[in-house]
Amino acid sequence: MDFKFTEEQEMIRDTAQAFLAEVSTSAAVRAAMATELGYDPALWSRITGEMFWQAIHIPEQYGGMGLGYVELVAMLEQMGRYLLCAPFYSTVCLATNALLIAGTEEQKERYLPQIVGGTTATLAYTGNSGGWDASAVELICLADGEGFTLNGSCRYIPDGHSAQLLVVAAREQHSVGEQGISLFVLAPDTAGITRRWLPTMDQTRKQAELQFDNVSVTASAVMRSPGEAWPLLATIIDLATVAVAADQLGGSQQALDSTVQYLQERVQFGRVIASYQAVKHKAADMMVKVEASRSAVYYAACIADETLQNSALGVELPEAASVAKAYCSDAYFHNAGTGIQLHGGVGFTAEYDIQLYFKRAKSTETFLGDGAFHRERLARQLLDGETAA
């Protein structure tokens, strides 16, 4: 693999950086955080209308740009760096990937052009257990003639209270683990669906709870074969995991940059504190974590690219996704925490943005599994591989 950016990829990254530096300022982030919606609709219109980012890896036949996951990850890194408040992650990294991986041709032709046109969407698969694997699917689906009836709830859904399109995972009654899981795509105003915003520590990315009360869906809403969707959903989750790691990489970089800037301005005992050797060591440790995170993220992005291009459930993707998420989760939390320490007493105050990155670091650490979860997952993959050999 060639890990050097092409000129086109560098242009995409630099354009994203310049645009986000202009529109996702500290003031803009704080204003969006204070709303229940969680983002500025005018900014979302600019992202979808001017920048066309939502279409970056949607194939051209559905109206997209037909680029790859590396280009997407390059933008996500910048979004994490500037704490972008927008339904981009939920729409592109969850729902769009779900349609690309698990959607029927009819569903792709119907819904992907809508996303290209600016429709927001999300994926709901986790229940109340707080888990992230197949056991997290708790919503129940019952066969009802040619369709299905959904009952139960989903929690921790990014932008679930505002998304204009839902992809939902549910399981057959009495099924366990990876068995009996199906995926559905449906409108959020379907009769029986109730949505509620969930206030969380990190208000830069809103979450919601969805309640399903005898929700009837037609057979056309089923994505691929009912009851056999876990391998597809697992790949969708891995792709989303790589995307979260890219967001964490950008946040880690900004935690380092903003901290170094502060260290070069703060004077103590007649000299800037950046000149003290012990402080330099901490900053150097932060930089090492950023660079190692970048290697893990872009390797995983290349594997994700191959998975999407080959339309296959890649055997390398789970490993690459877990390596990236495990390392980036720990690195981001370390850098944000160290940044607060090096800011001194003002680090926790609302005036400085480093506390916003600390909150995003914690929320992204737990979302889709923390470092311990993914290290254990890697250990199981290694054990399974040795058993198979």
CATH number at residue 155: 2.40.110.10
Please list, in sequence order, all residues whose beta carbon lies within 8 angstroms of the beta carbon of residue 305, skipping any fewer than 6 positions away: 68, 69, 70
Same domain, 206 and 243: no
Same domain, 330 and 261: yes
Q: Which two tokens stand for residue 294?
A: 């970048």
Q: For the beta carbon of residue 145, count every other beta carbon within 10 angstroms.
A: 9
Same domain, 283 and 352: yes
* Distance between CA atoms of residues 172 and 148, nearest Å: 10
Same domain, 206 and 348: no
What is the count of structural domains for the chain?
3
Domain membership of residue 351 (yes or no) is yes
β 122-124/166-172 pair status: parallel
* Distance between CA atoms of residues 142 and 140, nearest Å: 7
Q: For the beta carbon of residue 309, count every other beta carbon within 10 angstroms.
A: 10
pTM of the predicted structure, to 2 decimals: 0.95
Same domain, 184 and 250: no
pLDDT 10s digit of each residue in the chain, 389 long?
A: 556 889 999 999 999 999 999 999 999 999 999 999 999 999 999 999 999 999 999 999 999 999 999 999 999 999 999 999 999 999 999 999 999 999 999 999 999 999 999 999 999 999 998 899 999 999 999 998 889 999 999 999 999 999 999 999 999 999 999 999 999 999 999 999 999 999 999 999 999 999 999 999 999 999 988 999 999 999 999 999 999 999 999 999 999 999 999 899 888 888 888 888 999 999 999 999 999 999 999 999 999 998 888 765 657 999 999 999 999 999 999 999 999 999 988 877 888 999 999 999 999 999 999 999 999 999 998 887 766 55
Give the position of tokens 């408040």.
85
Domain around 198:
122-223
Domain membership of residue 2 (yes or no) is no
Same domain, 78 and 14: yes
Same domain, 153 and 108: no
Nearest CA-CA partner of 121 in 65, 48, 226? 48
